[in-house]
Structure 1
Amino acid sequence: MKPLIYTCLVTVIIIFLSLSTIEMLENDSDVLENLILEIENHVLMDRWEEAGLKEKQLKAQWEKYEKKWPMFIDHAEVDNISYHLSELEVFVENKDRTLSEAKLSVLKLLVKNIPQKEYAILQNIL
């Protein structure tokens, strides 16, 4: 009987930790997505200084998440976001509207998909 209780307890703990991780990733990705949307609005209105400031804010926020996210998601996803953020910085500095919009679109998609991917993995476990 004890092995069954331990197994159930471990299962509940794993599910709880998985849901907590997904919640954390959702909150973090919402913060990043909001910053991306703000940059997008500034780029569309040709307010490059504001876009540059928000881009720096996005990069600073990402540096915080970049340290903890690899514990929970694939390292390739983290590297991919870092790569696109580096490109975005150059495009905003050069005031290249088309490439900035394209890169922001890619970043938005990458950031939105991370919690969804982890949720799909949890569904497979259950």
Structure 2
Amino acid sequence: MRTIITIVTIVIILCGGSFASYQYITTATGTMGTLLESVENSITVEKWEKADEELNITQKKWEDNNMWWSILLDHQAIDNIDINLKRLEKHIGVQDISESLGELTTLKLLFEQISGAEMFTLENIF
């Protein structure tokens, strides 16, 4: 009987941790998506200084979350986001609207994929 209680307790802890990490990832990706939307809006109207400021805020938020993301996620996904953020920074610096919007689209897709990959579904389990 003790063994069953121990196993059930461990399963509950694992499920609770999984749910908590999913909630954290979902919230964080939503926040990053919102920040990227504001950068995109500034680029679209060619307000480059504002876009640069908003990108700096986005990068700061990313750095704040990066430690937890490193624990919870695949490092390749984190590296891809880091690379695309740096590319976006350079494209904004030279005021290249098409390349900037392309990098933004890629970043948004990366965050959406992370959120979807962490969802508790049969497809992700198997």
Please tell me the TM-score bracket, short chain as reference: over 0.9
Structure 2 distance, partners of 1:46, 1:98, is 11
Structure 2 distance, partners of 1:2, 1:115, is 37
Q: Give the structure 2 partner of residue 94 of structure 1.
A: 94
Give the letter aligned to residue 118 of structure 2: E
- Note the residue ranges of structure 1 that are not aligned, 5 or more in a row: none
Instruction: State TM-score, norm by structure 1.
Output: 0.93
Determine what percentage of the aligned residue pairs are the same residue. Answer: 25
Q: Give the structure 1 partner of residue 38 of structure 2.
A: 38
Q: Following TM superposition, by how much is the alpha carbon of 1:121 offset from its aligned partner in structure 2, in angstroms? A: 6.8
- Note the residue ranges of structure 2 that are not aligned, 5 or more in a row: none
Give the letter aligned to residue 124 of structure 1: I
Deviation above 3 Å: which 4+ runs of structure 1? 120-123
Q: Deviations over 1:7-42 (max 9, x none)?
A: 111101100000000000111111110010001111
Q: Give the structure 2 partner of residue 54 of structure 1.
A: 54
Instruction: State TM-score, norm by structure 2.
Output: 0.93
Write the mapping of 1:60-71 to structure 2, written as runs, cut at 5 A: 60-71=60-71
Is 2:125 the partner of 1:124?
A: yes
Cα RMSD, aligned residues only: 1.5
Structure 2 distance, partners of 1:2, 1:62, is 44
Q: Give the structure 2 partner of residue 108 of structure 1.
A: 108
Q: Give the structure 2 partner of residue 21 of structure 1.
A: 21
Q: Deviations over 1:54-109 (max 9, x none)?
A: 01111111111112201001011111100000000000011000000000000001
Q: Following TM superposition, by how much is the alpha carbon of 1:120 offset from its aligned partner in structure 2, in angstroms? A: 4.3
Structure 2 distance, partners of 1:96, 1:14, is 46
SS at match of 1:116: helix
Structure 1 distance, partners of 2:10, 2:116, is 24
Structure 1 distance, partners of 2:11, 2:71, is 20
